[in-house]
Amino acid sequence: MIDGLGRHIAYLRLSVTDRCDLRCTYCMSENAKFLPRQDILSLEEMSIIGHAFVALGVRKIRLTGGEPLIRHNIIGLVRSLGTLVDAGALDELTLTTNGTLLAGHADALALAGIRRINVSLDTLDPNTFAAITRRHRLADVLAGLSAADGAGLKVKINTVIHADTDQDELDRMIEWCGRRGYDLTLIEAMPLGDVAPGRPPISLSSVQAGLARRWHLSPLTDRTGGPARYFRVAETGGRLGLIAPLSSHFCDDCNRVRVNCRGELRLCLAGGASVDLRPALAGPSSQQAVMALILDRIGTKPARHEFSDPNPPINDWSHLPMHAIGG
Ligand code: SAM
Ligand code: SF4
């Protein structure tokens, strides 16, 4: 599937819920409003959407949210999409999770065809964890990670950073991830939704300079078709990724689109109009109808994100926080 600028679209991020058991300050307000349950697609409808994208050439699907593991019977969806991996139609089915419920799901995820997962974790300090997520759940996340290791899942840790993120904290994360054999990606906080006033964003170039004082980082040529730039950390042997949506543009080779949990196709995280796939799901031959609608609109994928636009257009993405978009 090729968009209007010749970019090959091969990656779908499918959000299965906008709800979550944490309240990370940069993602959700404490009193976040969630969609009424009747507005959220069934897992069967999500499976149809996933199959439609794969029939159009998507090779990687990531389940996300909100927190995907709080969705009842999420393993059923994983199994349904996992058959596409078994059939060779999909290279990878994966998921991004906060890890709180991973201990109870790791084995089932591995059995259903997941090989690698991303776990979001910003700190190893219980108090800092509670301050960032507004919940005391670090022990659950660590238990989840141990279960993932036991199930043979390859883990990558995602850490969101701000200008006031403590350098010692980052050093601890790098050392700990290296010891546990986890890749680590540092993500520049993005201004999505009005959820975290007062925390200054950061440019990853300054983070890189800070890290270089303590670690020897050698650039790697690995690209996963995503926005991360990768480095090898000489001291740990681990791989470190940096994602800088604000301080660098990576849109020229963007290969991804998103579908949120109410069935809206979002062609760019921060820009452009969304496309409602639900009418296509309603009729008979729904997979074909969804495919036709996607093909009709894929050409409108914006050239670039609008994070740096001082006057974003009317369909202003910036009012929606990450949990509602599907991170
Ligand atoms: N609940 C799951 C989790 O936290 O991994 C999946 C959904 S979460 C929205 C997906 C990713 O988006 C997480 O890695 C989270 O840290 C990241 N995220 C959320 N809000 C963000 C923001 N404002 N800027 C950058 N990344 C953000
Ligand atoms: Fe929940 Fe993930 Fe958002 Fe944190 S980042 S509030 S875990 S959806």
> Which tens digit of pLDDT belongs to each residue from 177-205?
999 999 999 998 887 766 655 566 677 67
> How much is the pTM?
0.92
End-to-end Cα, the chain, rounded Å? 22
Task: Pick the closest to residue 67 from 120, 108, 106 (CA basis).
Answer: 120
Q: What is the Å distance from ligand 1's center to 285 Cα? A: 34
Paired tokens of 113: 């065809």
Q: Are strands 154-161 and 92-97 parallel, antiparallel or unpaired?
A: unpaired
Cα angle vertex 262, ends 130, 12, to 5°?
80
Question: With a 6 A CB cut-off, is 256 part of the ligand 1 pocket?
Answer: no
Q: What is the Å distance from ligand 2's center to 20 Cα? A: 6
What is d(CA 177, CA 243) in angstroms, rounded to the nearest whole number? 17
Paired tokens of 281: 């799901």
Task: Pick the closest to residue 114 from 84, 87, 90, 94 (CA basis).
Answer: 94
> Exposed, middle or buried by CB within 10 Å (0-12, 13-18, 19+), for 114?
buried
**Nearest CA owner, ligand 2 atom 8:** 66
Most ligand 1 atoms within 8 A of CB, residue of 27, 119, 157, 261 to mutate: 27
Instruction: State which ligand 2 atom lies nearest to the alpha carbon of 28.
Output: 6
pLDDT in the model for residue 164: 81
Residues linked to residue 71 through DSSP beta bridges, in sequence order: none
Amino acid letter, 109: L
Q: Which domains does the chain have, with CATH numbers?
A: 11-325 (3.20.20.70)
Asked whether the beta carbons of 141 and 176 are under 8 A apart, the reply is no
The torsion angles phi and psi of 252, rounded to 5 degrees, stand at -60, -30
Q: What sections of 181-301 are H helices per DSSP?
A: 204-212, 278-282, 286-297
Q: What sections of 134-222 are H helices per DSSP?
A: 138-151, 167-180, 204-212
Paired tokens of 324: 């509602």
Q: What is the Å distance from ligand 1's center to 119 Cα? A: 10
Task: Pick the closest to residue 298 from 260, 254, 233 (CA basis).
Answer: 254
Instruction: State which ligand 2 atom lies nearest to the alpha carbon of 65.
Output: 8
pLDDT tens by residue, the chain, 327 residues: 988 888 899 999 999 999 999 999 989 989 888 999 999 999 999 999 999 999 999 999 999 999 999 999 999 999 999 999 999 999 999 999 999 999 999 999 999 999 999 999 999 999 999 999 999 999 999 999 999 999 999 999 999 998 888 889 999 999 999 999 999 999 988 877 666 555 666 776 788 888 989 999 999 986 655 678 899 999 999 999 998 766 666 677 788 899 999 999 998 876 777 899 999 999 889 999 999 999 998 888 877 766 655 555 545 455 666 777 766
**Nearest CA owner, ligand 1 atom 7:** 65
What is d(CA 40, CA 259) in angstroms, rounded to the nearest whole number? 12
Q: What is the Å distance from ligand 1's center to 57 Cα? A: 26
Most ligand 2 atoms within 8 A of CB, residue of 13, 16, 18, 24 to mutate: 24
What is d(CA 259, CA 205) in angstroms, rounded to the nearest whole number? 31
Q: What is the Å distance from ligand 1's center to 124 Cα? A: 17
Question: With a 6 A CB cut-off, is 193 part of the ligand 1 pocket?
Answer: no
